[in-house]
Structure 1
Amino acid sequence: MGPPPWAFISRKGLREVALWLLSDRPMNGAELIRAVEEVTWGFWRPSPGSVYPLLRQLEAEGLARRREDGRYELTEAGRRAAKLIPWARGPRLGGPRSVEEVVEELESWALYLADVAATEPERVAPHRERIRKIAEVLQKV
């Protein structure tokens, strides 16, 4: 899942996309520009004149810090801010990278299934036994 097209309409859109991408791994400005271009399939390539002031702003706000290698990484406050981005709560591109991300993704999918079961039970009914077996496996963890 990537940023929705409307995320690019404003400067806030770049901020949200940058927080989302930096929550995956530290990046310098050039890497961030390339990552935005990749996740948008070439639709958007932010300019250095937008990205570098944003990185400095994130640093000034305590959401990111510049490492010795020139890459920016999110602080704990930055990670919390990234988790508040509504469209960034679903599965990530490339799948989860840590146990914490797996648990977050499982929680998201469980909430999704509960919503579908409440509103369209006929869609979930054929899969109830398999869902029950998955729940049993998770109970053993």
Structure 2
Amino acid sequence: MWDFSKLHEKFHEKIGEMQRLGGMRIWIIHVLDEGPKNGVEIMDAIEEHHKMMEQRHMTDERFRRHMAKMKRPSPGSVYPMLKKMVEEDLIIKLEDGKYKLTEKGQKIASSFFGRFRPKEANMDKCEMVVENVLAEIEGHVAFLESIKPEKLEEYCPRINALNKKFEGIMNSLNNPEEEDHD
């Protein structure tokens, strides 16, 4: 079972840290965690992340209204923040005009977004997606484990179906010659 009081406490610690850093800093750290970008690429990436978040939470009206206000950051908010972040040693400006996280910036990114980062910098896109999917599944399974069994009884057929799919994946990994996945 999960200790939700500790999880809740950790969550509030992270929120407090994020508030101290400020919203734009966190967004910039988040998109630079994916790799170096110039100012326009940073604005594009933040806008794209906002769109993805909005699509994921389309049924939450409050969230949609909040996200509608945050579409694309303006150059007037991004470039001064980039300058501050260079001064704070969170990022550096490379010769090609792109910005990159410093070691200090990487530590902050890892602290906030560590679960979603690849374990190794040289992972390809497929490996990164698999890592993210598995991390997401682990979180959902942990949540299901915390629910009383009688609350899950009606979902037994779906849980069994998922279990069979996982067994199929495990069988294909244990017997790769039987399946051909290109």
Decide: shared fold, TM above 0.5: yes
Displacement after TM superposition at 1:135 (Å) = 5.0
Contact 1:113-1:124 at 8 Å conserved across structures: no
2:102 maps to which residue?
75
Displacement after TM superposition at 1:125 (Å) = 3.2
Number of residue pairs aligned between Structure 1 and Structure 2: 127
- 1:84 maps to which of 111, 121, 144: 111
Whole-angstrom distance in 1 between the partners of 2:49 and 2:129: 19
2:144 maps to which residue?
116
1:55 maps to which residue?
82
Displacement after TM superposition at 1:68 (Å) = 0.7
Whole-angstrom distance in 1 between the partners of 2:139 and 2:102: 28
Contact 2:33-2:106 at 8 Å conserved across structures: yes
Unpaired runs of 5+ in structure 2? 1-20, 52-67, 118-123, 176-182
SS at structure 1 position matched to 2:36: coil
2:135 maps to which residue?
107
SS at structure 2 position matched to 1:85: helix
Whole-angstrom distance in 1 between the partners of 2:50 and 2:159: 32
Whole-angstrom distance in 1 between the partners of 2:86 and 2:73: 19
Instruction: Tell me the TM-score normalized by structure 2.
Output: 0.52
Contact 2:50-2:71 at 8 Å conserved across structures: yes
The amino acid of 2:143's aligned partner reads: D
Distance 1:107 1:35, change over 3 A: closer
2:32 maps to which residue?
22
Unpaired runs of 5+ in structure 1? 1-10
Whole-angstrom distance in 2 between the partners of 1:126 and 1:61: 51
Q: Deviations over 1:80-132 (max 9, x none)?
A: 3123336x8569xxxx7364664354233223223224424635233123224
Instruction: Tell me the TM-score normalized by structure 1.
Output: 0.64
The amino acid of 1:66's aligned partner reads: K
Contact 2:39-2:79 at 8 Å conserved across structures: yes
Distance 1:37 1:76, change over 3 A: same
Whole-angstrom distance in 2 between the partners of 1:138 and 1:60: 49
Identity of aligned residues (%): 30
- 1:31 maps to which of 19, 24, 41: 41
Per mean C-alpha deviation after superposition, the further-off stretch among 46-55 and 107-116 is 107-116
Distance 1:125 1:90, change over 3 A: farther
The amino acid of 2:140's aligned partner reads: Y
2:165 maps to which residue?
130
